[in-house]
Structure 1
C-alpha cells in the first residue's frame, strides 16, 4: 500500500511549505499538494482560496501578488507560500508527485512545470472540468478524480474522464462497490485522509492501493 504525504504530512509540519515537502519526500512514496494561481500570475502551492487560515495575513490568493504572499508567514514556520517550481525542486526524483488542481485554467501551466521534472506525476482534482482540461493537452500524465460523496458517482466519473485513479474519501469504503467496481475497470484506488492507525490498518485490509495521510506515524508501518 503506497503512502501519500498529504500536503507534506500536514500534521507533522506546516502544510504545503517547502520544508514540509522536502522532509516528507525522504520517506513517502508520493507527495500531494495543492496548486492555485496568485494575483500576479505565478502558480503557488496553497490549499485554501484565502490565506487567512494558513498565514498571518488575510485575503484571496487570486487577489495577492507573489511578493505580497511571500511577505506572510505560514503557520509560524518562518516560510512563505511557495511557488510550484519551489516545491517541485524540493522533491527527490524517485518520489511520485500528486498535484491537486484547485482551478481549471491552470492545467496547461501545471503540465508545463511537471514536464520539466523527472518524477512520475499525477494530476488530481474534484473538478471534472479541470481534469478534462488536463486531458485536452494530451500530455503523458496520469489523472485522478477526487470524490467526497457517493452522489459524485466516483467510479463512473473517473471512467468518463479517462482517469487512471479514483480518490474517494475513506468513508466511502463503507460501501464495497466503491472498491470492487474500480478493480473491474483497472482503476487504482487511493483514499483520503487517513489519520488514525486503526483506520490505516482497515484500509490496508480492504486492499486499497494507497492512503493519503497527514501523519507520518500513521503511515510508518507501510513505509
Structure 2
C-alpha cells in the first residue's frame, strides 16, 4: 500500500486541499496531520507554527481559523484547510491516516471522522492521544507511531489496543518488528521513504504500507492489501 505523506509533500504543497485531491487520484491512502487552532477548529497542518509553510508567522494554537485561511502555503495560493474539508474531498475508496499532533483533540477528531465513508485510522506518537481516541470510540482503528526501539513499538501498540504500528522505516531493517507485529495481528506501515530501492526492500520484508512523499514508488504488485489491516 502506498500512503501519500501529507498528500505527497515532495510534489505538492503539503496538507493542502490541492495536494490531497491530487494524492487521492494516485495513492491507496493519504496521511494528514491535525491540530487545534486558536478559534478551536481542527486544522490540517504538521508544524506547531506557520512560519515554515506559509507567508505568516506565529503558533497555530494562537491563530484563528480565519487568520489561517488567509495565509498562503508555500506560495501555492492554497490555504490551511480544516479536517472536515479534507475528509470531504478525499475519494471514498482512499484510506485516510489522521495523525493527531497533540492531545485533547481526539474526541472532536473522532466526531469529524464519523461521517466519512473512507477507511480511516487515527495515529499518533502520543500514547495519551491514542488513549483519548480509544475513550472517544471503541471501534475506530488506531496506530502507534514510533521512531525508536526503546519506545517498544509493538508492545505499546498492543497495550493501546491499536490496529497497526507505524515505525520509522529503519527500525524494520534491524529488528523483528514486522514479524512480531504480524504474529499479533497488527499491520505495519513504515515511514517516510522516497527511495524506490528502499521501498522495494521494505515490501520484501513484508510491510503492509509505505508512507512516502513521492508518488509511484511502491510497485504495483504491493499496492493491494489482502487483509483487514488496511488503514
Aligned to 1:57: 56
Aligned to 1:28: 27
Aligned-residue Cα RMSD (Å) equals: 1.1
Give the Cα–Cα distance (whole angstroms) in 2 for the partners of residues 67 and 112 of structure 1: 22
Is 1:166 aligned to residue 128 of structure 2? no
Aligned to 2:192: 193
Aligned to 1:41: 40
Give the Cα–Cα distance (whole angstroms) in 2 for the partners of residues 164 and 140 of structure 1: 10
SS in 2 for 1:212: strand
Give the Cα–Cα distance (whole angstroms) in 1 for the partners of residues 9 and 203 of structure 2: 21
SS in 2 for 1:219: coil
TM-score normalised by length of structure 1: 0.97
Q: CA deviation at 1:70?
A: 1.2
Aligned to 1:17: 16
Runs of 4+ with >2 A deviation: 219-223
Aligned to 1:126: 125
Aligned to 1:82: 81
- How do 1:148-187 and structure 2 match up within 5 A? 148-187=147-186
Q: Which runs of 5+ in 2 are unaligned?
A: 224-231
SS in 1 for 2:98: strand
TM-score normalised by length of structure 2: 0.93
Q: CA deviation at 1:97?
A: 0.9
SS in 1 for 2:179: helix
Answer yes or no: is the 8 Å Cα contact 2:144–2:157 preserved in 1: yes
Answer yes or no: is the 8 Å Cα contact 2:110–2:137 preserved in 1: no
Give the Cα–Cα distance (whole angstroms) in 2 for the partners of residues 141 and 59 of structure 1: 33
Answer yes or no: is the 8 Å Cα contact 1:111–1:139 preserved in 2: no
Give the Cα–Cα distance (whole angstroms) in 2 for the partners of residues 183 and 117 of structure 1: 28
- How do 1:104-123 and structure 2 match up within 5 A? 104-123=103-122
SS in 2 for 1:98: strand
Give the Cα–Cα distance (whole angstroms) in 2 for the partners of residues 151 and 139 of structure 1: 27
